[in-house]
Amino acid sequence: MADVANHMETGQGTAKRFSHAILEARGLQKQYGPVHAVRDVGLTLHAGEALALCGENGAGKSTIFKILAGEVTPDGGEITLNGDPFKPDSAASAVRAGVSMVYQEFNTLPNTSVAENVFLGRMDMFRRFGIIDWTKLHAAAQEVLNRLGLKIDPRASMGSLSPSTCKMIELARALSTNPKVLLLDEITASLDHDDADTLHRLMADLRAQGVGILYVSHRLQEIFGSCTTVEVMKDGAYVTTCPVEELDESQLSALMIGRKIDVWERTPGLADRPVMLALDGLSGAGFKDVSLKVRRGQIVTLAGLAGSGADAVLEAVFGAVAVSKGSIELDGKRHEGRDIPEAIAAGIAMVPKERAVEGLIDSADIQFNIGLAGLTRNARGGFVDGSAESKDAKQGMQLFRIKAPSAATAVRNLSGGNKQKVLLAKWFLTNPKLILLNNPTRGVDVGVKLEIYEMLQKLREERDLAVLMASEDMAEVIRVSDIVITIRHGAISGVFEGEAITETNLINAMI
Protein backbone atom coordinates (compact mmCIF):
# COMPACT_ATOMS: atom_id res chain seq x y z
CA MET A 1 0.00 0.00 0.00
CA ALA A 2 2.94 2.32 0.67
CA ASP A 3 3.81 2.09 -3.01
CA VAL A 4 0.42 3.29 -4.05
CA ALA A 5 0.66 6.27 -1.72
CA ASN A 6 4.08 7.01 -3.19
CA HIS A 7 2.68 7.01 -6.70
CA MET A 8 -0.09 9.33 -5.66
CA GLU A 9 2.48 11.77 -4.36
CA THR A 10 4.58 11.83 -7.51
CA GLY A 11 1.38 12.16 -9.48
CA GLN A 12 0.30 15.31 -7.67
CA GLY A 13 1.37 17.81 -10.28
CA THR A 14 -0.87 19.19 -12.98
CA ALA A 15 -0.01 19.59 -16.64
CA LYS A 16 1.57 22.97 -15.90
CA ARG A 17 4.37 21.32 -13.96
CA PHE A 18 5.73 19.45 -16.99
CA SER A 19 8.65 21.12 -18.69
CA HIS A 20 8.05 20.44 -22.38
CA ALA A 21 5.85 18.46 -24.71
CA ILE A 22 7.47 15.38 -26.34
CA LEU A 23 4.61 14.19 -28.45
CA GLU A 24 1.87 16.32 -29.95
CA ALA A 25 -0.92 15.12 -32.19
CA ARG A 26 -3.47 17.42 -33.80
CA GLY A 27 -6.63 16.68 -35.75
CA LEU A 28 -6.08 12.94 -36.17
CA GLN A 29 -8.61 11.27 -38.47
CA LYS A 30 -9.11 7.64 -39.34
CA GLN A 31 -11.98 6.08 -41.20
CA TYR A 32 -12.67 2.37 -41.75
CA GLY A 33 -15.27 2.09 -44.48
CA PRO A 34 -18.26 4.15 -43.35
CA VAL A 35 -17.10 4.24 -39.72
CA HIS A 36 -15.11 7.14 -38.27
CA ALA A 37 -12.86 5.33 -35.79
CA VAL A 38 -11.15 8.62 -34.91
CA ARG A 39 -12.54 12.09 -35.63
CA ASP A 40 -10.37 15.13 -35.09
CA VAL A 41 -8.61 13.92 -31.95
CA GLY A 42 -5.49 15.54 -30.55
CA LEU A 43 -3.29 14.95 -27.57
CA THR A 44 -0.23 16.41 -25.91
CA LEU A 45 2.19 14.28 -23.95
CA HIS A 46 4.84 16.03 -21.85
CA ALA A 47 8.13 14.68 -20.61
CA GLY A 48 7.44 12.90 -17.32
CA GLU A 49 3.71 12.74 -17.88
CA ALA A 50 1.56 9.62 -17.74
CA LEU A 51 -1.52 10.24 -19.82
CA ALA A 52 -4.42 7.80 -19.52
CA LEU A 53 -6.56 7.55 -22.61
CA CYS A 54 -10.05 6.65 -21.38
CA GLY A 55 -13.18 5.60 -23.19
CA GLU A 56 -15.50 2.68 -23.75
CA ASN A 57 -14.71 -0.11 -26.21
CA GLY A 58 -14.89 1.42 -29.65
CA ALA A 59 -14.07 4.93 -28.42
CA GLY A 60 -11.00 4.97 -30.66
CA LYS A 61 -8.21 4.46 -28.11
CA SER A 62 -6.68 1.51 -29.90
CA THR A 63 -6.71 3.33 -33.23
CA ILE A 64 -4.86 6.30 -31.69
CA PHE A 65 -2.31 3.90 -30.21
CA LYS A 66 -1.85 2.11 -33.51
CA ILE A 67 -1.36 5.40 -35.35
CA LEU A 68 1.31 6.49 -32.86
CA ALA A 69 3.03 3.08 -32.99
CA GLY A 70 3.25 3.20 -36.79
CA GLU A 71 0.80 0.34 -37.36
CA VAL A 72 -1.92 2.45 -38.94
CA THR A 73 -1.57 5.47 -41.22
CA PRO A 74 -4.00 8.25 -40.29
CA ASP A 75 -6.26 9.76 -42.96
CA GLY A 76 -5.52 13.22 -41.65
CA GLY A 77 -3.83 15.19 -38.87
CA GLU A 78 -0.29 15.94 -37.78
CA ILE A 79 2.01 14.46 -35.20
CA THR A 80 5.22 15.96 -33.92
CA LEU A 81 7.84 14.23 -31.80
CA ASN A 82 10.13 16.63 -29.96
CA GLY A 83 9.03 19.32 -32.39
CA ASP A 84 9.87 17.35 -35.54
CA PRO A 85 7.18 15.89 -37.82
CA PHE A 86 6.56 12.24 -36.90
CA LYS A 87 5.20 10.03 -39.67
CA PRO A 88 6.13 6.43 -38.86
CA ASP A 89 5.47 4.02 -41.72
CA SER A 90 6.00 0.89 -39.64
CA ALA A 91 6.30 -0.23 -36.04
CA ALA A 92 10.07 -0.52 -36.53
CA SER A 93 10.40 3.10 -37.68
CA ALA A 94 8.31 4.30 -34.72
CA VAL A 95 10.62 2.38 -32.40
CA ARG A 96 13.68 3.93 -34.04
CA ALA A 97 12.17 7.38 -33.51
CA GLY A 98 11.66 6.55 -29.82
CA VAL A 99 8.05 5.41 -29.62
CA SER A 100 7.58 1.86 -28.29
CA MET A 101 4.35 0.04 -27.59
CA VAL A 102 3.35 -2.97 -25.50
CA TYR A 103 0.32 -4.51 -27.12
CA GLN A 104 -2.78 -5.87 -25.46
CA GLU A 105 -2.31 -9.24 -27.17
CA PHE A 106 0.58 -11.56 -26.41
CA ASN A 107 3.57 -11.12 -28.70
CA THR A 108 6.16 -13.62 -27.53
CA LEU A 109 7.44 -16.80 -29.14
CA PRO A 110 7.01 -19.79 -26.83
CA ASN A 111 9.90 -21.93 -28.11
CA THR A 112 12.67 -19.37 -27.91
CA SER A 113 14.68 -17.93 -25.05
CA VAL A 114 13.86 -14.89 -22.93
CA ALA A 115 16.82 -12.98 -24.37
CA GLU A 116 15.70 -13.63 -27.96
CA ASN A 117 12.26 -12.31 -27.10
CA VAL A 118 13.61 -9.18 -25.45
CA PHE A 119 15.53 -8.38 -28.63
CA LEU A 120 13.03 -9.84 -31.07
CA GLY A 121 13.56 -8.40 -34.54
CA ARG A 122 16.74 -6.63 -33.41
CA MET A 123 19.09 -9.59 -33.11
CA ASP A 124 21.32 -7.93 -35.72
CA MET A 125 22.71 -5.80 -32.91
CA PHE A 126 24.52 -8.85 -31.58
CA ARG A 127 25.89 -10.15 -34.85
CA ARG A 128 29.58 -10.72 -35.12
CA PHE A 129 31.10 -12.23 -38.29
CA GLY A 130 27.60 -13.20 -39.36
CA ILE A 131 26.76 -15.24 -36.27
CA ILE A 132 25.08 -14.21 -33.06
CA ASP A 133 27.25 -13.38 -30.08
CA TRP A 134 25.16 -15.14 -27.44
CA THR A 135 27.27 -13.95 -24.50
CA LYS A 136 26.68 -10.34 -25.47
CA LEU A 137 22.98 -10.95 -26.12
CA HIS A 138 22.46 -12.61 -22.75
CA ALA A 139 24.36 -9.90 -20.93
CA ALA A 140 22.29 -7.19 -22.60
CA ALA A 141 19.05 -9.03 -21.79
CA GLN A 142 20.16 -9.54 -18.19
CA GLU A 143 20.68 -5.81 -17.86
CA VAL A 144 17.14 -5.03 -19.05
CA LEU A 145 15.67 -7.73 -16.81
CA ASN A 146 17.55 -6.25 -13.85
CA ARG A 147 16.06 -2.84 -14.55
CA LEU A 148 12.66 -4.47 -14.23
CA GLY A 149 13.70 -6.39 -11.14
CA LEU A 150 12.82 -9.67 -12.87
CA LYS A 151 14.71 -12.65 -11.54
CA ILE A 152 14.69 -14.71 -14.73
CA ASP A 153 17.53 -16.39 -16.57
CA PRO A 154 17.81 -14.80 -20.05
CA ARG A 155 18.49 -18.32 -21.39
CA ALA A 156 15.20 -19.68 -20.01
CA SER A 157 12.58 -20.82 -22.51
CA MET A 158 9.51 -18.58 -22.84
CA GLY A 159 7.32 -21.68 -22.66
CA SER A 160 8.30 -22.18 -19.01
CA LEU A 161 7.06 -18.72 -17.96
CA SER A 162 3.66 -17.65 -16.69
CA PRO A 163 1.51 -15.41 -18.94
CA SER A 164 2.18 -12.52 -16.58
CA THR A 165 5.94 -12.98 -16.87
CA CYS A 166 5.66 -13.23 -20.67
CA LYS A 167 3.97 -9.83 -20.64
CA MET A 168 6.79 -8.47 -18.50
CA ILE A 169 9.25 -9.72 -21.13
CA GLU A 170 7.34 -7.66 -23.69
CA LEU A 171 7.68 -4.69 -21.37
CA ALA A 172 11.40 -5.44 -21.17
CA ARG A 173 11.52 -5.45 -24.97
CA ALA A 174 9.95 -1.99 -25.10
CA LEU A 175 12.31 -0.72 -22.38
CA SER A 176 15.38 -2.05 -24.18
CA THR A 177 14.69 0.37 -27.04
CA ASN A 178 15.13 3.30 -24.62
CA PRO A 179 11.85 4.92 -25.66
CA LYS A 180 11.00 8.58 -25.22
CA VAL A 181 7.36 7.64 -25.44
CA LEU A 182 5.99 4.35 -24.08
CA LEU A 183 2.52 3.14 -25.10
CA LEU A 184 0.89 0.60 -22.78
CA ASP A 185 -2.35 -0.93 -24.05
CA GLU A 186 -4.27 -2.88 -21.37
CA ILE A 187 -1.03 -4.32 -20.09
CA THR A 188 -2.29 -5.06 -16.58
CA ALA A 189 -5.04 -7.30 -17.95
CA SER A 190 -2.28 -9.90 -18.36
CA LEU A 191 -0.25 -9.13 -15.23
CA ASP A 192 -0.52 -10.68 -11.80
CA HIS A 193 -0.50 -8.51 -8.70
CA ASP A 194 3.27 -8.44 -8.09
CA ASP A 195 4.08 -7.70 -11.73
CA ALA A 196 1.47 -4.95 -11.83
CA ASP A 197 3.17 -3.42 -8.78
CA THR A 198 6.53 -3.62 -10.51
CA LEU A 199 5.03 -1.97 -13.59
CA HIS A 200 3.64 0.93 -11.59
CA ARG A 201 6.94 1.46 -9.82
CA LEU A 202 8.68 1.41 -13.19
CA MET A 203 6.24 3.95 -14.59
CA ALA A 204 7.17 6.34 -11.76
CA ASP A 205 10.90 5.81 -12.48
CA LEU A 206 10.49 6.37 -16.21
CA ARG A 207 8.55 9.57 -15.62
CA ALA A 208 11.28 10.80 -13.33
CA GLN A 209 13.68 10.22 -16.24
CA GLY A 210 11.49 12.32 -18.52
CA VAL A 211 9.80 9.54 -20.48
CA GLY A 212 6.20 10.17 -21.53
CA ILE A 213 3.74 7.34 -21.00
CA LEU A 214 0.43 6.79 -22.74
CA TYR A 215 -1.75 4.35 -20.84
CA VAL A 216 -4.96 2.47 -21.57
CA SER A 217 -6.68 0.34 -18.93
CA HIS A 218 -10.20 -0.67 -18.07
CA ARG A 219 -9.16 -0.64 -14.43
CA LEU A 220 -9.87 2.86 -13.33
CA GLN A 221 -8.11 2.55 -9.96
CA GLU A 222 -4.81 2.12 -11.76
CA ILE A 223 -5.34 5.31 -13.65
CA PHE A 224 -5.81 7.18 -10.40
CA GLY A 225 -2.83 5.41 -8.88
CA SER A 226 -0.28 5.78 -11.65
CA CYS A 227 -1.29 8.43 -14.16
CA THR A 228 -1.07 12.19 -13.99
CA THR A 229 -3.51 13.22 -16.69
CA VAL A 230 -6.69 11.82 -18.20
CA GLU A 231 -7.94 12.30 -21.73
CA VAL A 232 -11.45 11.04 -22.40
CA MET A 233 -12.71 9.93 -25.81
CA LYS A 234 -16.17 8.84 -26.84
CA ASP A 235 -17.28 7.38 -30.20
CA GLY A 236 -14.03 8.33 -31.87
CA ALA A 237 -14.15 11.96 -30.74
CA TYR A 238 -12.30 13.98 -28.14
CA VAL A 239 -14.26 14.76 -24.96
CA THR A 240 -11.93 16.40 -22.45
CA THR A 241 -8.50 16.40 -20.81
CA CYS A 242 -7.78 17.09 -17.16
CA PRO A 243 -5.39 16.23 -14.33
CA VAL A 244 -6.43 13.09 -12.43
CA GLU A 245 -6.75 15.01 -9.17
CA GLU A 246 -9.71 16.91 -10.52
CA LEU A 247 -11.79 13.75 -11.00
CA ASP A 248 -13.00 10.75 -9.04
CA GLU A 249 -13.83 7.32 -10.44
CA SER A 250 -17.55 7.87 -10.82
CA GLN A 251 -17.00 11.22 -12.54
CA LEU A 252 -14.56 9.60 -14.93
CA SER A 253 -16.99 6.74 -15.68
CA ALA A 254 -19.73 9.28 -16.22
CA LEU A 255 -17.55 11.13 -18.75
CA MET A 256 -16.74 7.87 -20.55
CA ILE A 257 -20.30 6.63 -20.85
CA GLY A 258 -21.98 10.01 -20.86
CA ARG A 259 -24.18 9.37 -17.81
CA LYS A 260 -23.85 8.85 -14.09
CA ILE A 261 -23.54 5.39 -12.55
CA ASP A 262 -26.19 4.52 -9.99
CA VAL A 263 -25.19 2.62 -6.89
CA TRP A 264 -26.19 -1.02 -6.49
CA GLU A 265 -28.53 -1.71 -3.63
CA ARG A 266 -27.67 -4.86 -1.80
CA THR A 267 -30.66 -7.12 -1.43
CA PRO A 268 -31.43 -7.63 2.26
CA GLY A 269 -33.02 -10.67 3.85
CA LEU A 270 -31.47 -13.41 1.76
CA ALA A 271 -30.00 -15.28 4.71
CA ASP A 272 -33.12 -17.39 5.23
CA ARG A 273 -33.52 -18.43 1.58
CA PRO A 274 -33.04 -22.14 0.77
CA VAL A 275 -29.48 -23.17 0.03
CA MET A 276 -28.89 -24.05 -3.63
CA LEU A 277 -25.18 -24.87 -3.56
CA ALA A 278 -23.15 -26.07 -0.62
CA LEU A 279 -19.47 -26.89 -0.92
CA ASP A 280 -17.91 -28.79 1.95
CA GLY A 281 -14.15 -28.99 2.22
CA LEU A 282 -13.72 -29.00 -1.54
CA SER A 283 -10.11 -29.51 -2.64
CA GLY A 284 -8.39 -30.03 -5.96
CA ALA A 285 -5.54 -28.68 -8.09
CA GLY A 286 -5.15 -25.00 -7.12
CA PHE A 287 -7.68 -24.85 -4.26
CA LYS A 288 -8.04 -26.50 -0.87
CA ASP A 289 -10.69 -26.95 1.78
CA VAL A 290 -13.25 -24.57 0.29
CA SER A 291 -16.60 -24.58 2.11
CA LEU A 292 -19.38 -22.16 1.21
CA LYS A 293 -23.11 -21.81 0.64
CA VAL A 294 -25.00 -20.03 -2.13
CA ARG A 295 -28.71 -19.43 -1.55
CA ARG A 296 -31.47 -18.97 -4.10
CA GLY A 297 -31.55 -15.43 -5.42
CA GLN A 298 -28.14 -14.69 -3.96
CA ILE A 299 -24.94 -13.53 -5.64
CA VAL A 300 -21.83 -14.85 -3.93
CA THR A 301 -18.49 -13.75 -5.32
CA LEU A 302 -15.12 -15.38 -4.99
CA ALA A 303 -12.64 -12.53 -5.13
CA GLY A 304 -8.97 -13.14 -5.61
CA LEU A 305 -5.96 -11.94 -7.50
CA ALA A 306 -5.21 -13.61 -10.84
CA GLY A 307 -4.04 -17.14 -10.07
CA SER A 308 -5.61 -17.21 -6.59
CA GLY A 309 -7.64 -20.34 -7.33
CA ALA A 310 -11.06 -18.65 -7.45
CA ASP A 311 -11.49 -19.78 -11.08
CA ALA A 312 -10.54 -23.34 -10.18
CA VAL A 313 -13.34 -23.61 -7.62
CA LEU A 314 -15.89 -22.69 -10.29
CA GLU A 315 -14.31 -25.11 -12.74
CA ALA A 316 -14.56 -27.88 -10.16
CA VAL A 317 -18.26 -27.26 -9.51
CA PHE A 318 -18.85 -27.31 -13.28
CA GLY A 319 -17.01 -30.62 -13.60
CA ALA A 320 -14.24 -29.19 -15.78
CA VAL A 321 -11.48 -29.99 -13.29
CA ALA A 322 -11.24 -32.88 -10.88
CA VAL A 323 -12.15 -32.72 -7.20
CA SER A 324 -9.77 -34.62 -4.94
CA LYS A 325 -11.60 -34.18 -1.62
CA GLY A 326 -14.83 -32.78 -0.24
CA SER A 327 -18.38 -32.69 -1.55
CA ILE A 328 -20.71 -30.62 -3.70
CA GLU A 329 -24.37 -30.42 -2.69
CA LEU A 330 -26.86 -29.00 -5.16
CA ASP A 331 -30.42 -28.18 -4.10
CA GLY A 332 -30.12 -30.43 -1.06
CA LYS A 333 -28.78 -33.43 -2.97
CA ARG A 334 -25.23 -34.57 -3.32
CA HIS A 335 -23.99 -33.71 -6.81
CA GLU A 336 -21.96 -36.64 -8.07
CA GLY A 337 -21.53 -35.25 -11.58
CA ARG A 338 -17.89 -35.41 -12.45
CA ASP A 339 -17.97 -33.96 -15.96
CA ILE A 340 -19.51 -31.02 -17.79
CA PRO A 341 -22.48 -32.82 -19.44
CA GLU A 342 -23.57 -34.12 -16.02
CA ALA A 343 -23.22 -30.70 -14.43
CA ILE A 344 -25.39 -29.14 -17.16
CA ALA A 345 -27.96 -31.91 -16.77
CA ALA A 346 -28.08 -31.18 -13.02
CA GLY A 347 -28.94 -27.52 -13.72
CA ILE A 348 -25.54 -25.85 -13.52
CA ALA A 349 -24.47 -23.31 -16.13
CA MET A 350 -21.11 -21.62 -16.45
CA VAL A 351 -20.12 -18.48 -18.30
CA PRO A 352 -16.40 -18.97 -18.95
CA LYS A 353 -13.69 -16.36 -18.71
CA GLU A 354 -12.14 -16.74 -22.17
CA ARG A 355 -15.00 -15.86 -24.47
CA ALA A 356 -13.16 -16.50 -27.72
CA VAL A 357 -11.68 -19.86 -26.72
CA GLU A 358 -14.27 -21.31 -24.36
CA GLY A 359 -17.39 -19.28 -24.90
CA LEU A 360 -18.61 -18.77 -28.44
CA ILE A 361 -18.10 -20.19 -31.90
CA ASP A 362 -17.25 -17.15 -33.95
CA SER A 363 -18.07 -18.60 -37.36
CA ALA A 364 -21.54 -19.81 -36.32
CA ASP A 365 -24.65 -17.67 -35.95
CA ILE A 366 -26.35 -16.41 -32.80
CA GLN A 367 -29.04 -19.09 -32.83
CA PHE A 368 -26.49 -21.89 -33.14
CA ASN A 369 -24.44 -20.49 -30.27
CA ILE A 370 -27.39 -19.96 -27.96
CA GLY A 371 -28.68 -23.47 -28.66
CA LEU A 372 -25.31 -25.13 -28.15
CA ALA A 373 -25.29 -25.22 -24.34
CA GLY A 374 -27.04 -28.41 -23.34
CA LEU A 375 -28.12 -29.40 -26.85
CA THR A 376 -30.47 -32.02 -25.47
CA ARG A 377 -32.83 -29.40 -24.02
CA ASN A 378 -34.38 -28.73 -27.42
CA ALA A 379 -34.04 -32.23 -28.81
CA ARG A 380 -35.89 -35.49 -28.83
CA GLY A 381 -34.31 -38.80 -29.82
CA GLY A 382 -31.23 -37.12 -31.22
CA PHE A 383 -33.21 -34.72 -33.42
CA VAL A 384 -33.10 -31.00 -32.70
CA ASP A 385 -36.41 -29.13 -32.58
CA GLY A 386 -35.56 -26.19 -34.83
CA SER A 387 -38.54 -24.06 -33.86
CA ALA A 388 -37.84 -24.43 -30.13
CA GLU A 389 -34.25 -23.49 -30.82
CA SER A 390 -35.23 -20.42 -32.79
CA LYS A 391 -37.66 -19.40 -30.03
CA ASP A 392 -34.83 -19.65 -27.51
CA ALA A 393 -32.61 -17.50 -29.69
CA LYS A 394 -35.28 -14.81 -30.05
CA GLN A 395 -35.93 -14.84 -26.32
CA GLY A 396 -32.22 -14.60 -25.58
CA MET A 397 -31.75 -11.67 -27.95
CA GLN A 398 -34.69 -9.86 -26.37
CA LEU A 399 -33.74 -10.62 -22.79
CA PHE A 400 -30.16 -9.42 -23.21
CA ARG A 401 -30.93 -6.68 -25.74
CA ILE A 402 -28.52 -8.13 -28.30
CA LYS A 403 -28.12 -5.77 -31.22
CA ALA A 404 -28.01 -7.79 -34.44
CA PRO A 405 -30.07 -7.88 -37.65
CA SER A 406 -31.30 -11.41 -36.86
CA ALA A 407 -30.54 -14.63 -35.02
CA ALA A 408 -28.84 -15.81 -38.22
CA THR A 409 -26.08 -13.19 -37.88
CA ALA A 410 -22.65 -14.77 -37.42
CA VAL A 411 -21.18 -14.03 -33.99
CA ARG A 412 -17.91 -12.80 -35.52
CA ASN A 413 -19.82 -9.85 -36.98
CA LEU A 414 -20.90 -8.60 -33.54
CA SER A 415 -19.18 -6.09 -31.28
CA GLY A 416 -17.46 -7.33 -28.12
CA GLY A 417 -20.32 -6.24 -25.89
CA ASN A 418 -22.93 -8.01 -27.99
CA LYS A 419 -20.79 -11.15 -28.10
CA GLN A 420 -20.66 -11.16 -24.33
CA LYS A 421 -24.44 -10.81 -24.20
CA VAL A 422 -24.83 -13.79 -26.57
CA LEU A 423 -22.58 -15.77 -24.23
CA LEU A 424 -24.72 -14.87 -21.23
CA ALA A 425 -27.92 -15.64 -23.16
CA LYS A 426 -26.50 -19.02 -24.17
CA TRP A 427 -26.13 -20.05 -20.56
CA PHE A 428 -29.17 -18.35 -19.03
CA LEU A 429 -31.37 -20.04 -21.64
CA THR A 430 -30.44 -23.45 -20.22
CA ASN A 431 -32.70 -22.43 -17.28
CA PRO A 432 -30.08 -23.23 -14.67
CA LYS A 433 -30.66 -23.50 -10.93
CA LEU A 434 -27.15 -22.28 -10.36
CA ILE A 435 -25.09 -20.13 -12.66
CA LEU A 436 -21.33 -19.82 -12.35
CA LEU A 437 -19.94 -16.58 -13.77
CA ASN A 438 -16.21 -16.35 -14.32
CA ASN A 439 -15.39 -12.67 -14.85
CA PRO A 440 -18.68 -12.08 -16.68
CA THR A 441 -17.82 -8.61 -17.96
CA ARG A 442 -14.20 -9.16 -18.91
CA GLY A 443 -13.12 -6.92 -21.77
CA VAL A 444 -16.45 -5.16 -22.26
CA ASP A 445 -16.93 -1.44 -21.91
CA VAL A 446 -18.55 0.38 -19.00
CA GLY A 447 -21.92 0.84 -20.70
CA VAL A 448 -22.37 -2.86 -21.45
CA LYS A 449 -21.08 -3.74 -17.99
CA LEU A 450 -23.87 -1.74 -16.41
CA GLU A 451 -26.42 -3.32 -18.72
CA ILE A 452 -25.18 -6.78 -17.76
CA TYR A 453 -25.36 -5.95 -14.05
CA GLU A 454 -28.95 -4.79 -14.45
CA MET A 455 -29.90 -7.98 -16.27
CA LEU A 456 -28.16 -10.10 -13.67
CA GLN A 457 -30.07 -8.34 -10.91
CA LYS A 458 -33.36 -8.79 -12.73
CA LEU A 459 -32.78 -12.45 -13.59
CA ARG A 460 -31.72 -13.55 -10.16
CA GLU A 461 -34.82 -11.93 -8.67
CA GLU A 462 -37.28 -13.21 -11.28
CA ARG A 463 -35.86 -16.71 -11.46
CA ASP A 464 -34.70 -17.09 -7.88
CA LEU A 465 -31.36 -17.98 -9.35
CA ALA A 466 -28.28 -18.77 -7.30
CA VAL A 467 -25.17 -17.07 -8.66
CA LEU A 468 -21.58 -17.96 -7.84
CA MET A 469 -19.18 -15.52 -9.46
CA ALA A 470 -15.42 -15.21 -9.67
CA SER A 471 -14.08 -11.79 -10.50
CA GLU A 472 -10.79 -9.95 -10.59
CA ASP A 473 -12.53 -6.64 -11.19
CA MET A 474 -12.74 -5.01 -7.75
CA ALA A 475 -15.38 -2.47 -8.77
CA GLU A 476 -17.56 -5.28 -10.07
CA VAL A 477 -17.10 -7.39 -6.93
CA ILE A 478 -18.12 -4.52 -4.70
CA ARG A 479 -21.00 -3.51 -6.92
CA VAL A 480 -22.89 -6.74 -7.48
CA SER A 481 -22.11 -9.16 -4.63
CA ASP A 482 -24.35 -9.99 -1.68
CA ILE A 483 -21.50 -11.92 -0.10
CA VAL A 484 -17.83 -11.71 -1.01
CA ILE A 485 -15.50 -14.59 -0.20
CA THR A 486 -11.86 -13.76 -0.67
CA ILE A 487 -9.51 -16.45 -1.91
CA ARG A 488 -5.79 -16.38 -1.29
CA HIS A 489 -3.43 -19.13 -2.43
CA GLY A 490 -6.38 -21.41 -3.11
CA ALA A 491 -7.99 -21.11 0.31
CA ILE A 492 -10.72 -18.90 1.76
CA SER A 493 -9.16 -15.91 3.50
CA GLY A 494 -12.25 -13.93 4.48
CA VAL A 495 -16.02 -13.61 4.16
CA PHE A 496 -17.64 -10.19 3.84
CA GLU A 497 -21.25 -9.10 3.85
CA GLY A 498 -23.14 -5.81 3.57
CA GLU A 499 -21.24 -2.81 4.93
CA ALA A 500 -18.09 -4.90 5.33
CA ILE A 501 -17.70 -5.15 1.55
CA THR A 502 -15.20 -2.36 1.04
CA GLU A 503 -12.20 -2.13 -1.20
CA THR A 504 -9.78 -1.89 1.72
CA ASN A 505 -11.21 -4.94 3.49
CA LEU A 506 -11.19 -7.05 0.36
CA ILE A 507 -7.70 -6.07 -0.80
CA ASN A 508 -6.26 -6.76 2.64
CA ALA A 509 -7.80 -10.21 2.62
CA MET A 510 -6.72 -10.95 -0.94
CA ILE A 511 -3.05 -10.01 -0.73
Partner 1 sequence: MSDMTASTPSLRSGMNFDRLRTYFPFMVLILVCIGFAIFSDQFVSARNLETVLRQASVLSIAAMGATFIIMMASIDLSVGSVVGLSAVIVAYFMQSNGLLAAPAGLLSGAFLGALVGVIYAKMKVPSFIVTLGLLVAGHGMMLHITEGRPIMIKNETMRWIGSGDIAGVPTIVIVALIAFAVAYVIQNHTILGRSIVAIGGGEMVAQRSGIRIDRVKIGTFALAGLYSGLAGIVLSSRMGAGSPTAGTGLELDVIAAVVIGGTPLTGGMGGVVGTIIGALIITILSNGLNLAGVSSYSQLIIKGAVLIIAVVISIDRKKIGVIK
Q: Under the rule (CB under 8 A), what is the footprint of partner 1?
A: 32-35, 58, 320, 340-341, 343-345, 350, 352, 357-364, 368, 371-376, 379, 382-384, 386, 403, 405, 409-410, 412-415, 418, 426
Smallest distance from partner 1 to CB 364, Å: 5
Please state the length of the chain. 511
474 closest CA partner among 221, 251, 193: 221
Nearer to partner 1, 35 or 123 (CB): 35
CA-based nearest residue to 397, from 387, 409, 412, 385: 409
Asked if residue 374 lies in contact with residue 392, where contact means CB atoms within 8 angstroms, the answer is no
Name the minimum Å distance from CB 401 to partner 1. Answer: 12
CB-nearer residue toward partner 1: 127 or 412: 412
- CB 391 → partner 1: shortest distance, Å? 16
222 or 445: whose CB is closer to partner 1?
Answer: 445
* Nearest to partner 1 of 368, 428 (CB atom): 368
**Quick one: 47 or 67, whose CB is closer to partner 1?**
67
Q: How far is the CB of 344 from partner 1 (least distance, A)?
A: 4
**Least distance to partner 1 from the beta carbon of 75, Å?**
15
HSE-CB for 287 with a 13 A CA cutoff:
30
The DSSP code for 358 is: I
CB of residue 405 vs partner 1: minimum separation in angstroms?
Answer: 7
For partner 1, give the closer residue by CB, 275 or 320: 320
CB 337 within 8 A of CB 400: no
SS (H, E, C) 440-481: CCCCCCHHHHHHHHHHHHHHHHHHCCEEEEEECCHHHHHHHC
CA dist 1 and 19 (Å) reads 29
Residues 6+ apart with CB under 8 A from 388: 378
Amino acid at 339: D
CB of 27 to partner 1, least distance (A): 22
Minimum CB distance to partner 1 smaller for 412 or for 458:
412
Calpha distance 2→24 (Å, rounded): 34
Task: Return the H-helix or E-strand segment holding 221.
Answer: helix 220-226
